[in-house]
Every structure is written in C-alpha cells, then in structure tokens.
Structure 1
Amino acid sequence: MDPGASTRSKTIKTKPTYCCFFCALKEPDTNTRRASLSAFFRDMLNHDDESLVLVLCSIWSMAMTDPTNIELPSLGALECMSRLISKSLSNPSWLKLHQNIYIPYYAAHIIGSYTIRVPSLATVAVESGVVSPLISLMQGRISWVEQRVAVRALGHLASYDSTFPAIAHHGKELIPLAMCTASTCLDTVFNQFVCVKTQKREKYQRNLLTRGLYGAEMEDRKAEEWASQIQCWSLYLLSCFASKDVHSPAVMVENVDFLKELCHMWGGLVNGDSPAGIGLMRLLCRSGIGRKGIAQCRKVIESLCHLARSCDDWQYMGIDCLLLLLDDPKTRPLTLELIVPYLIDLAELHNLGARKNLGESITKILLKDHKSRSFILGCEAEPETALKSLWNNKVERETKEAAMTTKEITKRDALASKKKKEGKERYFKGNVEGAIVAFTEALNICPLGKRKERMVLYSNRAQCYLLLREPDRAISDATRALSLANPVNWHGKSLWRRSQAYEMKGMAKESLMDCLMFATNCFARKEGGSKRRDKLPYYVARMISKQMYAANLFAHTKLENRTRGEDGYDGDDYDDDDDCTNIDQGSL
C-alpha cells in the first residue's frame, strides 16, 4: 500500500474546488465550508449552467433574511456580484442563455441587501468595485427592473460616511442621473410595462413582480409599487448628496423643472413610509442656496403650503420648509405674501407629533418683524391685513382675556353660544350668508381658551362656505378647526368638509388624505362619545375610490397618453362624471 495514498485522499477531499453551492453551505467543518464557498465565488464566472440563477436567488434570500451576516460577503460574494453585473452589461448575448436574464437583477439586489445595515459590508462592496456596474444599471442599460435594485444599492452606499466619498466621486454623473430617474421612472414603467398588452410583457419581469402568479391585475399593482420605489430611492440618493455635499443643492435647485416635479413626488399610498419629494425639499431648505432657489419658484411654495395645511403624515415637513423660508431674511420678502394666508390657519396648533407648541413657533416667525412692518400702521394690503388680524388675536386679545375675571369669561362664552345658536337657526332656514355672519360674531366673542367650542364654530362656517361654493374659505376654516382639535386633525366633520372643498378645486391627493383620515375617524368613536360605525358610508367609499384613481401615480401619464391619442393602456378607466361631493345641509 502506498503510504502517501491516505494523505493524497485527504488532500483531494478537502481541496477547494468549484462545487455545489448548496453542498458547501451544509459542510459542517467551518474551514472547509469557507474554502469551498470562496472557491465557488472565485470560479463562478467560469462556469455557465442553469443552476446559476438558483444559486443567486438563494443568496438573495439569505441576504434579505439576515443582512448582517458577514460570511458570504467576506468570502467574495459582493465582488462576484459586481463581476456578474459587468459580464451582463458587456455581453448581452450571454443574458439570452439559460435563465441568465435574471442574474443582474439578483446580483444588484444582493449588493443592496448586504449593505443596508452594516457600514463595514458597504466598505467591502465599494472595495469590490460595485459602484460603476450599479451606475450602469441605474442608467437603464438593461431595463427599469434592474434600475430599481441598482438605485437602492447606491442609496445604501451613499448613506454611510465611510463610503459616501466613493459615491460622491461620481457626483457629476449621479446627481443628474438620479434627478432624471426620479422624474421619468413613472412614465417609463407605465409605458414599457403597464400599458403593454399582458402577453407582450417581458416574461422575466412578470416573474420577478409576481412569480408568474395572480395575473395582470396583480402585476400592475406591483409595477406601481416598484415604480414608486425607484422614484423614492432616487430621491433618497439625492438626499444623501444634499445632506453630505455642500455643493449639491445648487445643482438641484438650478433645475426649475425638477423642482416643480419634485412637489408631486409623494410616493403614493404604496410607499407611504418614504418622505419622497418633501424629504429632499426640506434638506434643500436647510441650505441658503437651496432656500434661494425654492423661494423663486411660486409653484413649489404653493405645494409646500398645501402640504402644511393637510393631514398628510409629512405635514410637519411642509411646515418646517415654510418656517425656514420665512426665518431667512433673504427669502422672507420673496415668500411672505404667499405663505401668510396658509400658515395663519395653523397658528393655534398645539402639538404635531414630536413638535410641541408649534402654533407659537409659527406665530413668532410670522410676527417677528411686526414692529417695523406697515401693517401695524393700518396698511390694507392682504398679507398685512392678515398679519394684523393675527396680532390682534394672538397678542392683544390673548392679553386682554388673561386680565379678565372668570365671570367676564363666562359671560363671553354664553354670548358666543347664543350667537352660535342663532347661526344654526339661520342655516336651517336657508340663510347661509346670515349664518356666516352669526358664526363669525361668535368666533370674535368666544374666549380663546374654549378650543372645542371654537373648533365647532370654524367647522360650521366651513360648511356654509361649501354651500356657497367657496372652497378656499372652506379649506381655511376647516384647517383652523382641525388645528384646534384634540388630537390635531381628528375632527370628522371638518375632515369631510375639507375633503369636499379640495374635491371642488381638483386637488385629488389632498382630498384623498382627508377622506382616508375621515374614514379612520368613522371607525373610532364619533363626536359626542357615541359608539363606532359598523361600516363606511357609501358616499365616503365612493369619494375614496374616485380620488385614489385621480391621485394614482400613473394618472398624469395616462392623461398625457389620452391627450396624445395613444391607446396602449388596456385597464379600466374611472367614470370622471360621477360627482362624489355630498354636502349635507342638515349636518351642522
């Protein structure tokens, strides 16, 4: 017997060779497993068979399940993914073999999953050369599906201080690319997938979206979700630049068209956990050059004002942006006239999320130069008149009422109640204008401390303005009522009235947000402490359905295609002639 046979047998058995990935994972000996996996990743590009996609799919599943596990990345997994993407881009014919078309998608997704939480893995990824291949995918070199996972991975790499310089090195290319992607991705997904006949859609894209199950309707839903993610992740990448690179805001705000489009990038209901456009907008407002660019765009300011007066989850960000613009001596003169009517409606906010006494902060900034402004001297210009009214209510009236006795306060409260009753009587008799007068008199008398009573008065007056088809005044009064509510934005009648007013103005998203909040309110305790509703009123469900269609992420693209007479989309259209507005004259 050869004395070296046993040694050679052991050598052959433990020699790291290209082997079954799954067999290597099951190897109980740590050193052998690591050696086998390392060899597998090193030789992966030299072998081409149908099992490759299955391996990548498994690695992706492991990365999604446990993104902090450093074993595979430390053995060359990320470098292997980078090389696979490069091979896919340089050799398109290779993608047509077997199921290789799936490889760049899974490879980029693996990179993004392993870099989501651990900075050291992000460093490994950068050192493995992933940045350039990911940028190529983000450029749409293959399709929007790969673009989605590429921009996700780049956003993760840009979020760490240790790896941001590697991303910033490509800033001149990446910033315009991310802006373009955020602006065009919805149109791209709609035109290249959603409006394409089902049988003509790319099979691998359909499989990635729904694993080939559930049909076209589910594919459309997932495509909308993925399109929203492409947009939100592009904006996140831009936010990393805006927060870490002092020169980036100038590049973004000089593109006025992008700023205008940014106002409408809200993530939709399918990606509601992302601040999307308003998150980037607030970062831009924190820099002087960013505030200057935003202050010169009226459409952007109006969008921020509408957000600030909404019940959107990101309402506080809209308020922050407006306060930053007003607090800057250079942008205050450019924006004050436009912002004042909106922020005054929020002057009585107490707390909004973690922000305490927000109304006081708003009042302080609005009135910070009141001693030098002409409105104190009686100027009749609209913003000055509004600020004078704010001064009278929040400063002079508050001071006077603080000096009143309890008996005087009680007397004013009783007189306000009498005026309120008079207003309701006029309202039910059809004298809406007279009701407005009575409710206004009651508001002028009612003590400021009686927040609930004043909330009802504002809400009733909003109903009157609805009947008179004056949506702007209805929105203003409903907003003031919701600012007085406890908790904020939690008064059902005011939400429904403001939703209808937004509907009149064609502001679908704002109407939808109020309607959804109202629907939530319906299932909570009703005003007066009565029991909850068992089901949603039909008129509310119908309004939600209509506004969800109108505020759909693809709504603008559908409208443009219809205007151009392009008939690619085979989905069902909503009946725009159905009027969901339901103004109940007996609901004060």
Structure 2
Amino acid sequence: SSSCSYPDCFLCAIKFSPPDIYARQASFFSELFKELPSSSPSSSSADAIAASSKQQLSIIRGLWSTAMAHPDDPLFVQLGILESMIHLIYKGLRDPVWLSQGENVFVPYYAAHILGSYTMNVERYAAHAVRYRAVPALAELAMGALTWVEQRVAVRCLSHLASYDSTFPAVSAGGVLRLAMAVARGGPGLVYEQFVGKTVDRQLGYHKELLARGSSGEGVERKAEEWASQLQCWSLQVLNCFALREEFLLAICRPEFLVDLPGMWGGLVNGSSPAGLGLLRTICYHKLGRIAIASCGSIVEALCNVARSSDDWQFMAVDCLLWLLQDPSSRSKVYSKAVVALADLVELSSLGEQKKPGESIMDVLLSHQKQDELLEADENVLAAIEDVARLKKRIKIERHLAREDIKITQAAALVLRLEGNARFSAGDVRGAAAKYSEALEVCPIKAKKDRVVILNNRAQCYLLMGDAERAVSDTTRALSLCRGKRRRHGMTSSLWRRAQAYDMMGLAKESLLDALVFGCSSSSISSCSASSDGWDESGSRSSSGGNQSGVNFYVAKLVRKQMQRTWLFREAARKSEMESNEREEDEEQSSGDESGDESEWETASESEM
C-alpha cells in the first residue's frame, strides 16, 4: 500500500495478493500465530537454539512493525495474533531458561508492544485480549517481573484497556490501581537504577539495542529519559481512568501521593501528555477530589504557578483553580492563593480552545464575595480584588468615552511613562516603578500595546528590586494582552523577565518553559523589535533587538541551568550518589587504612551523568 509507512509490511503483502495467494497466506499466518508460543529449535545445540530464536525474533519484529502501521486492521486479530502474543508473554514470565536463550529476551517486550498497538483504538480488540487473560500477564510485567523496558510497554497497554468501559472492570480487579501509583512515583528512579545510573559496560545489551539499535552514548540516555517519562505518564493515564470513577478517589487522594503530582510533568522529552496535571484536573471534577486538593497547600501553589506559565496545559491549571473557588467546601482553603494568581489572567482573550476565558475568571473572582473572606484576606488578596473590580468598572466607562477623551488620557499616560523612563535611567528604580504604576492608572484599557510596555517596564523595576512575585504578576498580565498582532511586540520581553523572576523564586520548570518559548520567539522576530533602535522605553536593552548574540548567550545559560534542575533523574541520581558515598564510608571503616580501593558496586554520580 502506498499509504503504509513500513516497506515490508506483512499485512500489505497479504491484502494486495491475488485471491488464491491471499487465502494461502492468511492460512499461513493463522498457523504461525498458533505455533509461535510453542516453537522450539530442531536440536538442542547452541547454534540451533540461536538460529531458531533469531528467526522467531525476526518474525515478531515484522509483526510489531505491521501492528504499528495498521493498529486498527482486523485481519491479524481474527487470525489470532493477540492470543499468540499473550502466550509469548506468559512463556517469558514462566520459563527463564527459554528467556535466556539466544534472542528470546526481546520477545516479551515486542509481544506486549503489539498488544498495546492493537488495543489502542478499537474496544473490541481490547475485549478480545482481556478474554485471553491479558491483564494478569501485563500486570506481572508492570510490577517489574522482568525489567523496566517490558514494564513500560505493559503499562502502556494497561492504560488502553483501562480506558474502555467494557474492559475496565478486568483492569480494576487486577490490583492495577496501587501498581500504577507505585510506578508513577518510582518509575524514573527504577529506570535510573536499572540503566541510566549504570556504567556502559553494566547496561544490559538488549536494553541498548532497543533504545538505539545497539549504539551507545548520549543518544541512548536521551531515549532512556524519554521512555522513563512515558512509563510515568502512561501510569498516570491508568490512574486517570480510575479517577473518572468516584469510588476509586479515596484510594488515589492520599496526601503523600497527591503532593508529588505537580512534579510529574513529563519533561521536555514528552510534551504530548498532561501527566500529573491532567490527573489533578480529573480529580477536581469530583467534590471529594476538590476537598483533598484544597487541603494540600503545595498543590494549590503549584496550580497557581502553572496557571501563570508557558505550560501547554496552562488551561488545566486555570480550570482547577476556578472549580476550587466555585466550590464552597474548598473555596476558603484556596482563596488567598488562587485569587492573586487568577487576577493576572482576567484579560486573557483565548486559552487553548477557550474563547475569552478572562471574562469567566473575572466573574468568578467578583461573584459570591463573602464579607468574612474579605475581612480575613491579606492585603495582596484585597489589592487583587480591588484591581479586578476597578478594571471592570473602567471597561464600562470607556465604552461611553469619546475617542478624543481616550487620546487625551493616552497622552497623559505617555508623559508619566516617560517620567518613569527618566527615573530608571537615573538609577531611581523605585521612583520609576511608582511612575509606571501611575501611568497604568491613567492609560486607557483599550491601549493594550501601551499597557504592555508599561507593565514590562515596571516588571524590570521589580526584578531589580528583588520582588520576583510582582514581576511575575506584571509579566503575566502583559502576556495576557499580547494576542494577535500585539503578541510578537510584547511577549518576548515579558517571557524573558518572567523566566528570570521564576528563577529567583526557585521555580525551575516554569523558568525553563518561559526561557524556551522566549528563545524561539526572539530568534524568529529579532528583526521586528517594538522600538527601532533595539531599546526598551525603560532604557534597558531590548530582548527582541540589538545585541542578539548576547541575549542568546544568557538564554542558553538559563536553559542549561534549569534543564539540570528539572532533569527527570535528578532525584534518583542524588539518592544513588548518597548511597554510594555511604557505602564507601562503611568500607573505609571496615577496612581500616585500605581507603584506596574502589567499590565494586560504585554507581555513576550525577556530575558524571
């Protein structure tokens, strides 16, 4: 088939054959699927075993490629491929002698992968696999009966089976819930322990071949990080299927598990999954879930940070905060943090597929205000509510103002902004920030481009004053206004300054995402600076013009720093190094003066990685 991505596809070879050949080939594959699990070499010699296992692996790899290219086609399912793969998994689990012979060590991995491909989109294929006891076999692999590579594809298949109503009961009865929670928390550490943290000569050869067809070096480690992220994200997808059903929420909403979810974000190697944030959003659908999340202050704080970031799943964090505020049972616990964060987003014109989400945010913030909440609120919350209320009032007033009046107030804001620039250039940063605040009070709401400049200038002042939280607030408000044609003029400065502010706050992931988006934006629009000479109006060097190579240097430096801090295996490497140091200390104490010997079990340190 011209549409098939696999040049030697078994399925295409059958389907595009003449009718008489088609029937013979279909019969051949039907017999093949029956014989694969019980096939044995012609003799017990090492050469015969190696040749037999190599031939079998070649066939299974061909079936794997076919399943990847045509996961929805019913022919091979009808001929018995699912039963065959399930039997091969059980054979690998029950017969360690067979597994250790020749190329057989690869078989359980490919068999589970084939199951996952066929059950990915078609529910009846999933039901067919469940009838042949796929769940116990996959659960055993997912528990780590073999190694982490088989665990990864087993969890992938279980996530598919859990997503269908007809097959979910079989998954829920197999003890998969606790298993998925354990894998979500410990998966990356296991991959580090079994592969990444080992020296090259101690890494299993078939792992390296699966990761990079036998190559070694940085490419293999990068692929291992990607697979570890997938292992974690697929286990979270399994949990997401459980969280959709309220009877399982109590088991999932354990504080020790919930607090880890914001840190499970998939990393840069796996941006297609909402990971821990997606599970938090599903939990927030339910009242019980909202109460549990509201009781964990660190989760609420993490949601506020994601809501004001360049994360692709920003809208999920916003949804969670809005639902928490609208529920009386959780509102009081999240009020002080959520209000301040959401107040910076009230002018968002779009977010994902949502249109004018800022209006919905404004309505939630200003409606159902309780007197006791306002009395107990701190000055930051009160200021945020007052700003939102004043903004809403100014929008109504400006609708009835004449164009000439708007131009007059715009000119007045320009004068104040220039005064702020002069103070900034003279070194009076606090005075400049005060003038920019006055300019914002005067500047028309419709003059969004002017307001973006003022907000960015004031954010720069806050950075220099060490007030990172206010810098995040101003840059987020500026980014909310940067839509359409205004986007490329204002977003680069906002992103870079917010990346710096998050760095000051120790929020590595948020800083990294902003820096990466800024790097992509500034490189593509460096010739489209908001000001012709490459300087911001505050007098600081523009991030979208001027010395672009200097900007790129600092961006690269910040990105490298944050990538090290957000490395998926960072915690596992730290623990491994601590354990290695403790073992060395114990050996030194036990061996007296023999301190020069190296430990046989020494693990690579994080710096070496």
TM-score (norm 1): 0.88
Write the distance in 2 (CA, Å) between the matches of 1:389 and 1:501. 24
Say if 2:278 is the partner of 1:279.
yes
Compute the displacement of 1:295 (Å). 0.7
* CA distance in structure 2 between the aligned counterparts of 1:53 and 1:375, rounded to whole angstroms: 66
- Alignment-derived partner of residue 248 in structure 1: 248
The aligned counterpart of 1:568 is: 603
Q: Return the alpha-carbon distance in structure 2 between the equivalents of residues 332 and 557 of structure 1.
A: 36
Q: Contact 1:379–1:385 (CA<8 Å) still a contact in 2?
A: no
Letter in 2 for 1:354: E
Q: Could you say which residue in structure 2 is the equivalent of 1:320?
A: 319
Cα distance in 2, alignment partners of residues 199 and 489 from structure 1:
51
Supply the AA of the counterpart residue of 2:246.
V
Shift of 1:573: 5.5
For the residue of structure 2 that corresponds to 1:124, the secondary structure is helix
Equivalent residue number for residue 32 of structure 2? 40
- Measured at CA, do residues 87 and 375 of structure 1 come closer, stay the same or move farther in structure 2, by a change above 3 Å? closer
CA 1:448 to 1:61, structure 2 compared with 1: closer, same or farther past 3 Å? Answer: same
Between stretches 428-437 and 122-131, larger displacement belongs to 122-131
1:3 maps to none
Say whether the 8 Å CA contact 2:410–2:444 is kept in structure 1.
Answer: yes
Specify the alignment match of 1:58 in structure 2: 62
Measure how far apart 1:169 and its partner are.
Answer: 2.9
Residue 443 (structure 1) aligned with residue 440 (structure 2): yes
**Stretch deviating more after TM superposition (113-122 or 176-185):** 113-122
1:399 maps to which of 396, 410, 421: 396
Q: For 1:181-330, what aligned pairs fall within 5 Å after superposition? A: 181-213=183-215, 215-243=216-244, 245-253=245-253, 255-330=254-329
Cα 1:241–1:388 change in 2 (3 A) is closer
Amino acid aligned to 1:302: E
Change (3 A) 1:557 1:489: farther
Q: Which moves more between the two structures, 387-396 or 64-73? A: 387-396
1:340, 1:386 within 8 Å by CA — same for their partners in 2? no
SS in 2 for 1:423: helix
| Residues 311, 65 of structure 1: alpha-carbon distance in 2 compared, 3 angstrom cutoff | same
Q: Secondary structure at the match of 1:272?
A: coil
The answer to whether the 8 A contact 2:293-2:300 is kept is: yes
Change (3 A) 1:444 1:565: farther
Given that residues 489 and 495 in structure 1 are in contact (C-alpha distance below 8 angstroms), is that contact kept between their aligned partners in structure 2? no
3-state SS of paired residue (2:346): coil
Q: Is the 8 A contact 1:266 1:275 kept in 2?
A: yes
Distance 2:104 2:140 in 1: 18
What one-letter code is carried by the residue in structure 2 that aligns with 1:144? W
Separation in 1 of the partners of 2:388 and 2:501?
28
**Match in the other structure for 1:523:** 523
Which deviates more, 525-534 or 398-407?
Answer: 525-534
Residue 392 and residue 35 in structure 1: after superposition, are their counterparts in 2 closer, same or farther (change >3 A)?
Answer: closer
**Residue 398 of structure 1: CA displacement?**
2.8
In the alignment, the residues of structure 1 paired with residue 311 and residue 59 of structure 2 have an alpha-carbon distance, to the nearest angstrom, of: 43
Are the equivalent residues in 1 in contact too, given 2:576–2:605 (CA < 8 A)? Answer: no
Q: How does 1:418-437 map to 2 (within 5 A)?
A: 418-437=415-434
Q: Which residue of 1 aligns with 2:113?
A: 109
RMSD across aligned C-alpha pairs, in angstroms?
Answer: 2.3
Q: Percent identity?
A: 40
1:34–1:75 Cα contact (<8 Å) kept? yes
What SS does the corresponding residue of 2:355 show, helix, strand or coil? coil
With 226-235 and 115-124 compared, the bigger mean Cα shift is at: 115-124
1:565 Cα deviation from its structure 2 partner: 4.9
Q: In the alignment, what sits opposite 2:594?
A: none
Query: Alignment partner for residue 456 of structure 2, among 459, 465, 468?
Result: 459
Alpha carbons of structure 1 residues 379 and 228: separation in structure 2 relative to 1, 3 Å = closer
8 A contact 1:367–1:387 mirrored in 2: no
- Say whether the 8 Å CA contact 2:436–2:458 is kept in structure 1: yes
| AA at the equivalent of 1:218 | G
Query: How far did 1:458 drift?
Result: 0.9
SS of match in other structure, 2:225: helix
Q: Against the structure 1 CA distance between its residues 144 and 41, is the aligned structure 2 distance closer, same or farther, given a 3 Å change threshold? A: same
Find out whether 1:67 has 2:75 as its counterpart: no
Q: 1:200 to 1:384 in 2, by over 3 A?
A: closer
Contact 2:459 2:497 (C-alpha < 8 Å) held by counterparts:
yes
Give 2:521's aligned amino acid: N
Could you tell which deviates more after superposition, 259-268 or 526-535? 526-535
Within 1, Cα distance between the matches of 2:531 and 2:61? 53
Q: CA-to-partner distance for each residue in 1:103-122, whole Å, 9 max, x for gaps?
A: 11111011011111222222
Name the CA distance, whole Å, in 1 between partners of 2:466 and 2:603: 38
1:95 lines up with 2:99 in the alignment: yes
- Distance in 2, Cα, partners of 1:380 & 1:106: 57
Residue matched to 1:127: 131
Structure 2: runs of 5 or more not aligned = 1-9, 41-51, 535-543, 582-601
Find the aligned partners of 2:22 and 2:200 in 1 and give their Cα distance: 48
1:545 CA displacement: 1.8
Q: Which residue does the alignment assign to 2:512?
A: 512
Distance change >3 Å, CA 323–CA 180, structure 1 → 2:
same
Write out aligned runs for 1:15-34 (5 A).
29-34=21-26
Distance 1:453 1:285, change over 3 A: same
1:474 counterpart residue number: 471
- Which residue of 553, 557, 561 maps to 1:546? 561
Distance of 1:208 and 1:540 partners within structure 2: 34
- 2:407 counterpart residue number: 410
Structure 1 match to 2:593 = none
Change (3 A) 1:128 1:374: closer
1:208-257: CA deviation from partner (whole Å, max 9, x where unpaired): 111102x12211111101000000111111112222x221222111x211
Amino acid at match of 2:179: L
- Alpha-carbon spacing, 1:127–1:449, altered in 2? closer, same or farther (3 Å): same
Question: Residue 375 of structure 1 contacts residue 387 of structure 1 at CA under 8 Å; is this kept in 2?
Answer: no
Decide whether aligned partners of structure 1 residues 456 and 375 sit closer, same or farther in structure 2, where only a CA change above 3 A counts: farther
Paired residue secondary structure (1:408): helix
For the 8 Å contact 2:365–2:385, the answer to whether it is kept is no
Amino acid at match of 1:267: G
Amino acid at match of 1:519: G
On the 8 A contact 1:137/1:147 being kept in 2, the answer is yes
Matched ranges for 1:151-170 at <5 A: 151-170=155-174
**3-state SS in 2 of match to 1:313:** coil
Q: Compute the displacement of 1:307 (Å).
A: 0.2
Provide the C-alpha distance between the structure 1 equivalents of 2:481 and 2:143, rounded to a whole number of angstroms: 48
User: Residues of 2 paired with 1:420 and 1:560: CA distance?
Assistant: 52
In the superposition, relative to structure 1, how do residues 45 and 395 fare at CA in structure 2: closer, same or farther (>3 Å)?
Answer: closer
| Aligned residue in 2 for 1:13 | none
